Amino acid sequence: MYDPVHHKFPGENAPYPNSYWATTVSPETPSAGPIIGDHNTEVLIVGAGYTGMSTALHLAREHNVQPLIIEANQTAWGCSGRNAGFILKSTGRMAWTAMQKKWGEEVMRGIYHEACSGVDIVNSLISEGIDCQVQDKGYIKVAHKPSMMPGLEQQAKLLQRMFGYDVDVLSRAQLHNEFMQDEMAHGAIRFEDGFGLNPLKLALGYQDLLAKAGVNIHTGTPALGYEKTDKGHVITTPKGRIVAKKLVIATNGYTPKGFNPVINNRFLPVLSQIIVTEPLTKEQLKACNFLTSNVVMDTRSLKYYYRKLPDNRILFGGRGAITGKGAEDPFYANRLLSVLKASFPALGNVGYDYAWAGWICMSLDDIPHVYEQDNIFYGMGYCGSGVSFSVQAGKRLAERVVGKALPALPLYQQGLRKFPLPSLRRSGQWLYFQYGRVRDNYL
C-alpha cells in the first residue's frame, strides 16, 4: 500500500480501494480527466478530498475565483473516501479543557465555534441535495472501563457549563437497554448532534456542487514534482505542466514524501483500519439489543469506533498497521473482529465482508492547521477528526487565498510544527502504541 513516509508517487488513476463505500457508488465517477499540456492558473489545488473541494467551492461561490484542481487518482481516493463517516464537533485530538488551560477560555471558545461551523457547513451542503445516507443523530462516547465514567460525567458538566451543550449521561444499564448491549461498555455520555453518513457519497456530492459552480476536477493527474520560479509555483504532471500564482496543498495524510519544503516532516501519516461485517439477521440484532444507528466511540487512548449501517452491517474501526507494507495483513482486520465479538458475544459466528485502511494525518501538537507561506497554502493535521472540520478548513483556506484575515486562533496563526528527528517518527508511533495498550488495559 502507498506509504507517504516512504513513497514519492501516490499512483496515477488508481481505482478506489475494495471498501464497503466503493460498492455504493459508480465505479467511474465523472471528472475532467487528466491535465494535458501546459496550463497557467491563479490558484492550483492539489488533492480532491474534502479540504480541496471545500476550498474550491468557497473560492468559486464566495470569492469569484475559479481554481484548477488536480487529483492523482480518483476524487476522494484518500481518507475522504475511506473514513468511518462520523460527523462530530471536533478539531484534532486536543480536549477542550486542555485548550482552555493552554490558551485561555476565549481561544478555546473560538475553536469550539469553528468546529460547530464545520458541522453547519456540512449540513448546509447536504441540504442542497446530496444523498449520502445520513443516519439518525446521536454520538455515544462509551467508558471502556468503570474508572472512565467519572471523567465522562465531568466532561458532560463542562460542556453544559461552557457551551450550553446538552449531553446525556447514561448508566451501563441505560446504555444496554436503550441503545446496544456492548459488554465492554460501562456507561456513556451521549451527544445529540453527531451522526453517521456515507463519506464517499458525501465527497462525490461535493464534486457535483463544484461542477455546477463551473469547477472541474482533473483526476489521474499526480503532482510529480514541484519547483518555485519567477513565474510562480510549477507543478509537473505525467502529461503536462502547471504554473500557478498560488498553490493550495490539500493532500493531508496522503502527501508524498518530500513533496514540498513548506510541509515536509511536519506531519505523521497513521493508518486507521476498518472492517464491515456481513449483514446481521434480526435475531443477531435482538441478541445484542442493537437498537441504535448512532455513531459510537470509546475512551481508549487507542480508540475503537463503530456504528450500524443502513443495511444492518456493523462498521468497526481502530488502529491499523504502522507501515503501508503491513496495511493489508489480515491480522489487523481480524483483531478488530475479535474486539467486536468481545463487545457483542452473540456475534461469535459473524465474519466481515470488507476490510480496508486509510492514512489519517497527525500533527505534532494534536490540532489541525490552516496556514500560508510564500503563497503556498495548506490545511492539514485533522488527527482523525476531519470529516466536518476539513470543510471548515477549506472555507478558511479560501479566505486566506484571497487575502482575508482569519480568526486569531492557533489553528490559523501558526503553521505545522516540524517533528523532531523526523526519520524516527514511526519509532515514536510504535512506542506510543505500546504505551496506549498498557494504559488502556491496566492503568
As its CATH architecture, domain 1-134+197-266+365-443 has 3-Layer(bba) Sandwich (3.50)
Q: How far apart are CA 163 and CA 112, in angstroms?
A: 9
Structural contact between residues 209 and 132, judged by C-beta atoms closer than 8 angstroms: no
Q: How far apart are CA 333 and CA 356, in angstroms?
A: 8
- Residue 165's pLDDT is 86
Residue 407 burial by Cβ neighbours in a 10 Å radius (0-12, 13-18, 19+): middle
How far is Cα of residue 77 from the mean position of the Cα atoms in its chain? 12
Q: Does domain 135-196+270-362 have CATH number 3.40.50.1370?
A: no
Which residue, 292, 286, 243, is CA-closest to 137? 292
DSSP 38-99: EEEEEEEEE--SHHHHHHHHHHHHHH----EEE-SSSTT-SGGGTS--EE-S--SS--HHHH
Structural contact between residues 343 and 358, judged by C-beta atoms closer than 8 angstroms: no
Q: How far apart are CA 82 and CA 200, in angstroms?
A: 7
Q: How far apart are CA 365 and CA 383, in angstroms?
A: 10
Q: How many CB atoms lie within 10 A of CB 307?
A: 25
- Residue 29's pLDDT is 62
- Residue 97's pLDDT is 86
- Residue 158's pLDDT is 87
**Per-residue DSSP letter, 417:** P
Which residue, 298, 235, 250, 307, is CA-closest to 79? 250
Q: Which cell goes with 96?
A: 477542550
3-state DSSP call for residue 314? strand
Domain limits, the chain: 1-134+197-266+365-443, 135-196+270-362
Q: How far apart are CA 269 and CA 106, in angstroms?
A: 31
- Residue 27's pLDDT is 67
**Per-residue DSSP letter, 22:** G
Q: How many CB atoms lie within 10 A of CB 329?
A: 13
Which residue, 128, 126, 147, is CA-closest to 137? 126
CA distances from 165 to 125, 159, 168, 193, 289 (A): 24, 5, 10, 10, 28
- Residue 442's pLDDT is 77
Which residue type occupies 225? Answer: G
Each residue's pLDDT expressed in tens, for the chain with a length of 443 residues: 999 999 999 999 999 999 999 999 986 666 788 999 999 999 999 999 999 999 999 999 999 999 999 999 999 999 999 999 999 999 989 988 899 999 999 999 999 999 999 999 999 999 999 999 999 999 999 999 999 999 999 989 988 988 888 899 999 999 999 999 999 999 999 999 999 999 999 999 999 999 999 999 999 999 999 999 999 999 999 999 999 999 999 999 999 999 999 999 999 999 999 999 999 999 999 999 999 999 999 999 999 999 999 999 999 999 999 999 999 999 999 999 999 999 999 999 999 999 999 999 999 999 999 999 999 999 999 999 999 999 999 999 999 999 999 999 999 999 999 999 999 999 999 999 998 989 888 77
Q: How far apart are CA 17 and CA 400, in angstroms?
A: 33
